[in-house]
């Protein structure tokens, strides 16, 4: 059983296009995240949602728009793609109990986005 | 600001012990995670420390000193399959919710 799944696994597109990546988790978690991992393997948080509400919004261009239709899904839409958007995008989920320490994050397999 | 530092790369031989160090400077610190990431795969959870001291889990142990802003991951009886990147991540409380701030990862190469 896949805990955190993402589609597509690979995405190759032209500069200027708009694309979406989808994420689903079947762990019953209430918090989901989007991370970007660049070519130097640096993993950086972009967004986090808790029960469909945006709780973390790092300094990300507004071409990136996350959407959480329900707490099991978190999608990422990217407008006007640029070369610098090429990276691996990871979705993750955790059970967040406000202020409680231990909340291991489970990561999806990643979506490798290549912008030409 | 948030800052996590760890070595970029380390090498070791099969059967040996290796220690990967991590220093951090974060506000709202709420613990230290270690993740393993094999090439082309997702990060997977290894350990979590919130109190000072050593947590042991099989061949892997993790240590935390909050006063020194320091952690290490200790891998014993190294196996070839341990070749991977090891990511140190500080858990930071942000408006009542937690986020992870990752270091750049330490790429470990285990040779025969």
Closest CB to B99: pick one of A48, A101, A102: A48
Beta bridge partners of A53: A50
DSSP state of B80: G
CA distance A74 to B29: 26
The encoded tokens of residue B45 equal 């959870």
Residues 6+ apart with CB under 8 A from B40: none
Task: Please state, as a whole number, how many other Cβ atoms lie within 10 Å of the Cβ of residue A28.
Answer: 9
Q: Do the beta carbons of residue A63 and residue A83 sit within 8 Å? A: no
At B105, list the tokens: 């990862």
Neighbour-count burial of B68, counting CB atoms closer than 10 A to its CB (0-12 exposed, 13-18 middle, 19+ buried): exposed
Determine which of A31, A101, A112 to mutate to test the interface with B (most B C-beta atoms within 10 Å): A101
Per-residue confidence band for A59, with pLDDT thresholds at 50, 70 and 90: confident
What pLDDT band is residue A40 in, cutting at 50, 70 and 90?
confident
> A97 vs B33, which has greater pLDDT?
B33
The answer to whether A101 contacts B104, with C-beta atoms less than 8 Å apart, is: no
* CA–CA separation, B41 and A110 (whole Å): 7
Across B92-107, average pLDDT: 87
Structure tokens at B101: 């701030």
Q: For residue B88, with 0-12 CB atoms within 10 Å meaning exposed, 13-18 middle and 19 or more buried, which class applies? A: buried
Q: Which residue in the set B42, B50, B91 is minimally distant from A107, CB to CB? A: B42
Q: Given this model, what pLDDT does residue B53 score?
A: 96
Q: Is the pLDDT of residue A2 over 80?
A: no
Structure confidence by residue, pLDDT tens digits, B54-95 = 999 999 999 999 999 999 999 999 999 999 999 999 998 877
DSSP state letters, A32-68: EEEEEE-TT--EEEEEEEETTEEEEE-S--TTEEEEE
Is the predicted pLDDT of residue B12 greater than 70, yes or no? yes
Closest CA in chain B for residue A97: B97
pLDDT tens track for A63-95: 999 999 999 999 999 999 999 999 999 999 998
pLDDT at site A102: 62
* CB-based contact B91 A55, cutoff 8 Å: no
pLDDT of residue A15: 97
Residue of B7, B42, B48 to mutate, testing the A interface (most A Cβ within 10 Å of its Cβ): B42
Q: Given a cut of 60, is residue A101 above it in pLDDT?
A: no
Q: What pLDDT is attached to residue B94? A: 74
Question: Residues B36-58: pLDDT tens digits?
Answer: 999 999 999 999 999 999 999 99
Q: Which residue did the predictor score with more confidence, B111 or A42?
A: B111
pLDDT at B62: 98
Average pLDDT rounded to a whole number, residues A28-42:
91
| pLDDT for res B99 | 87
Residue B102: half-sphere exposure toward Cβ, Cα within 13 Å: 24
Helix (H, G, I), strand (E, B) or coil at A84: helix
- pLDDT value for A1: 66
């Amino acid at each position: 059983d896949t805990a955190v799944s993402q589609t597509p696994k690979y995405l190759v597109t032209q500069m200027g296009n708009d694309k979406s990546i989808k994420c689903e988790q079947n762990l019953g978690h209430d918090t989901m995240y989007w991370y970007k991992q660049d070519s130097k393997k640096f993993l950086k948080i972009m967004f986090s949602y808790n029960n469909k509400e945006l709780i973390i919004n790092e300094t990300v261009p507004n071409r990136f728009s996350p959407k959480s239709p329900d707490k099991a899904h978190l999608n990422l839409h990217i407008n006007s793609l640029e070369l610098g958007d090429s990276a691996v995008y990871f979705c993750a989920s955790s059970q967040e109990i406000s202020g409680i320490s231990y909340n291991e994050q489970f990561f999806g397999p990643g979506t490798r986005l290549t912008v030409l | 600001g948030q800052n996590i530092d760890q070595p970029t790369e380390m090498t070791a031989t099969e059967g040996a012990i290796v220690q990967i160090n991590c220093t951090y400077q974060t506000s709202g610190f709420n613990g230290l995670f270690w993740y393993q990431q094999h090439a082309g795969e997702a990060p997977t959870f290894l350990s979590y420390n919130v109190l000072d001291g050593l947590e042991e889990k099989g061949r892997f142990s993790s240590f935390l000193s909050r006063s020194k802003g320091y952690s290490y991951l200790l891998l014993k009886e190294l196996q070839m399959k341990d070749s991977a990147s090891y990511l140190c991540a500080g858990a930071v409380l942000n408006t009542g919710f937690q986020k992870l701030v990752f270091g750049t990862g330490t790429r470990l190469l285990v040779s025969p």
